[in-house]
Structure 1
Amino acid sequence: MNPEGTPAPGATRAPLHLVDASLYVFRAWHSMPDEFRDAHGWPTNAVHGFARFLLELLERERPRHIAIAFDEALDSCFRNRLYPAYKANRDPAPEELRRQFAHCKALCAALGLAVLADHDYEADDLIGSALHRARPAGYRGIIVSADKDLSQLLGEHDEQWDFARGQRWGAAGVKARHGVHAHQIADYLALTGDAVDNIPGIGGVGAKTAAVLLAHFGSLDALLEQVDEVAFLRLRGAAQVAARLREQREHALLWRQLTTIACDVPLPYDGPAATRAEADPEMLEALADTLRFGPMTRRRLRTAAGLDSGAGEAPPVPLPA
């Protein structure tokens, strides 16, 4: 359902859930109390928080097609080769957190979920590539993330889902949230910059100015081709904005390379969509022991994995025709 309570466009298409896992791991790392420890004494608060999120998602949606994307390319991404300062403002993850990322990946694999991770590409690129492969085969994407960068992937039938806030929106809802259309998000971020990723943007161009420019010109390419017209727009400091766009043209194009999600990344599964596989009960049990999950979490994991029949459990979701 969309926020108005009516079926989302393309709701009859088979859904492919694409989860931006790192967002939820980091959120758990910062919000969960540091009282959970594994069998070796290492912290497991992020794993416990991520497991709660994952179980709630699986219990609520019962997805047949799902992929969980992790960021491994924190300093080895192709974007770092284009711009060495990309994300250089971020401190390296401590060993206590890196170990928990490995546990989160293992937990997903034990549940039969496709795990996407690559040293050259970010989670956004893996999600974009999975959606790009699945869409022609009749799937619609449900991107589980609050990250505005991912809104550029939304097509007519897709949705983005801020799971923590319980908010969903499609391509048509992006403008109300960010001031530009879904297909303009990469251009918008190239103009405004993105402090989280250490992308400077164009000096003096803020969110409102970028939205006005893209509303008038449609794209960054058209804006740069017709930059002489900018000075005549009803825009505060229009002449100065035009001058900066001329001076920083090559930078703008570089920033757009950084903000554009790659959709041609090789994926580790066959077929158009990531079909959920059978769970690995031995691996699941070993992880539960190592991570010292309580009996409630263990039961939920086994039920989610199809190893126990839960009372009132919904019937299995059939494969799409």
Structure 2
Amino acid sequence: MLYLVDASVFIFRAWYSVPVSLTDPDGNPVNALHGFARFLGDLIEAEAPTHLAVAFDESLATCFRSRIYPAYKANREPPPIDLKRQFALCRQVCEALGVATFASGEYEADDIIGTLAVRMRAQGRNVVVVTRDKDLAQLVRPGDAYWDYIGAARFGYEDIAARFGVLPERMACFLAVMGDAVDNIRGVPGIGRKTATLLFRHFASLVELYADLDAVLKLKLRNAGFVAGQLREHRDAAFLARRLTEIACDVPLDDAVLDSLERRPPDLAMLNDLYDAVGFGRLLRNQAERIAQGS
């Protein structure tokens, strides 16, 4: 089993939940680093994964989706400087703990996770996607799991529809039609979650939906005529949104990269040097030593 971690979810959570008063000797906040390091150590201790990778986001302003649609995520402010510097430190913690890390200026962490999932699944290895981002639910296939670590809930392939409303394979189309305010994707005006759910419980894809829009009129749907009309009028917007909501599973990664997904024993010297520099005490060091003993 390959565990694929969406780093941003856990770094941002730590940034907002761990007191900013936690600083290094120079007075720089290291709260997000501490929270993320604790999360990653806890995950390794609890699961003892043989294969583990962490994907970081470095493409807020440079992702290929922004070239397709310049307004994509344009509603988001860049992370504060005090947080941004901690992203690099979080990546160092991963490396010291023996965990492979990935980032790209062209692709988002979701795309890296999707590509690794597809490539490793082709080798017969199922995946556990560790996140709270609904977008990543589209990657789950039979034998995989979506792990909402923060909510302490795991969802298998059969559970995704009950949790999010539609099957994983239909998730990108579902998000495209109803839009996604978090990512500044407009979708089809007038169609919300409930209507989108009904549509993609019936239709397998956006292509199938638009091949038979008249069938929308036969669904048990309030204002079916209005919905069909909106879909017809905003066809181009729906297909544009679909290009944004679909995770790219073809990020160019060298075959040798796949060998790096096997977790290595922690480099305690590297980790202690880092923890010395940021002023961390025994809690995380003791955890790393336990992980090393179990490797």
TM tier, shorter chain? over 0.9
Flag as ranges the 4+ runs of structure 1 deviating above 4 A.
none
**Whole-angstrom CA distance in 2 between matches of 1:286 and 1:208:** 52
Partner residue in 2 for 1:287: 274
Quick one: which of 245, 249, 271 aligns to 2:231? 245
Measured against aligned partners, the alpha-carbon deviations of 1:194-246 in whole angstroms (never above 9, x if no partner) come to: 11111111111111111111122221111111113323433111111111111
- RMSD, matched Cα: 1.4
Contact (CA 8 Å) 2:100, 2:260: kept in 1 or not? Answer: no
Task: Give the 3-state SS of the residue equivalent to 2:248 in structure 1.
Answer: coil
Task: Give the 3-state SS of the residue equivalent to 1:108 in structure 2.
Answer: helix
Structure 1 residue 94 and structure 2 residue 80: aligned? yes
TM-score (norm 1): 0.88
Residue 289 of structure 2 aligns with an amino acid whose one-letter code is R
Measured against aligned partners, the alpha-carbon deviations of 1:287-310 in whole angstroms (never above 9, x if no partner) come to: 111121111221212332x2xx3x
Structure 1 residue 302 and structure 2 residue 271: aligned? no
Partner residue in 2 for 1:166: 152
Partner residue in 2 for 1:11: none
Contact (CA 8 Å) 1:116, 1:267: kept in 2 or not? Answer: no
Residue 137 of structure 2 aligns with an amino acid whose one-letter code is S
**Whole-angstrom CA distance in 2 between matches of 1:134 and 1:273:** 12
Residue 190 of structure 2 aligns with an amino acid whose one-letter code is G
**Whole-angstrom CA distance in 2 between matches of 1:164 and 1:234:** 36
Task: Give the 3-state SS of the residue equivalent to 1:168 in structure 2.
Answer: strand
Quick one: which of 185, 188, 192 aligns to 1:199? 185
Task: Give the 3-state SS of the residue equivalent to 2:19 in structure 1.
Answer: coil
**Whole-angstrom CA distance in 1 between matches of 2:126 and 2:139:** 11
Structure 1 residue 113 and structure 2 residue 99: aligned? yes
Contact (CA 8 Å) 2:266, 2:288: kept in 1 or not? Answer: no
Partner residue in 2 for 1:57: 43
Structure 1 residue 208 and structure 2 residue 194: aligned? yes
Contact (CA 8 Å) 1:137, 1:272: kept in 2 or not? Answer: no
Contact (CA 8 Å) 1:134, 1:272: kept in 2 or not? Answer: no
Instruction: Tell me the CA shift for residue 273 of structure 1.
Output: 6.8
Residue 300 of structure 1 aligns with an amino acid whose one-letter code is Q
Instruction: Tell me the CA shift for residue 285 of structure 1.
Output: 1.8
**Whole-angstrom CA distance in 2 between matches of 1:65 and 1:270:** 12
Task: Give the 3-state SS of the residue equivalent to 1:256 in structure 2.
Answer: helix
**Whole-angstrom CA distance in 2 between matches of 1:152 and 1:187:** 10
Task: Give the 3-state SS of the residue equivalent to 1:121 in structure 2.
Answer: coil
Instruction: Tell me the CA shift for residue 272 of structure 1.
Output: 6.1
CA shift in 2, pair 1:272/1:184, >3 Å: farther
**Whole-angstrom CA distance in 2 between matches of 1:252 and 1:220:** 8
Partner residue in 2 for 1:145: 131
Structure 1 residue 224 and structure 2 residue 202: aligned? no
**Whole-angstrom CA distance in 2 between matches of 1:45 and 1:170:** 32
Instruction: Tell me the CA shift for residue 63 of structure 1.
Output: 1.1
Q: Which runs of no fewer than 5 residues in structure 2 stay unpaired?
A: none
Partner residue in 1 for 2:170: 184
**Whole-angstrom CA distance in 2 between matches of 1:272 and 1:289:** 31
Instruction: Tell me the CA shift for residue 27 of structure 1.
Output: 0.3
Aligned length: 294
Instruction: Tell me the CA shift for residue 278 of structure 1.
Output: 4.2
- Quick check: 278-287 or 246-255, which moved more? 278-287
**Whole-angstrom CA distance in 2 between matches of 1:71 and 1:303:** 29
**Whole-angstrom CA distance in 2 between matches of 1:272 and 1:100:** 27
Measured against aligned partners, the alpha-carbon deviations of 1:107-155 in whole angstroms (never above 9, x if no partner) come to: 1011111001111111111110011110121111011112111111011
Partner residue in 2 for 1:136: 122
Residue 67 of structure 1 aligns with an amino acid whose one-letter code is A
Partner residue in 2 for 1:260: 246
**Whole-angstrom CA distance in 2 between matches of 1:233 and 1:111:** 53
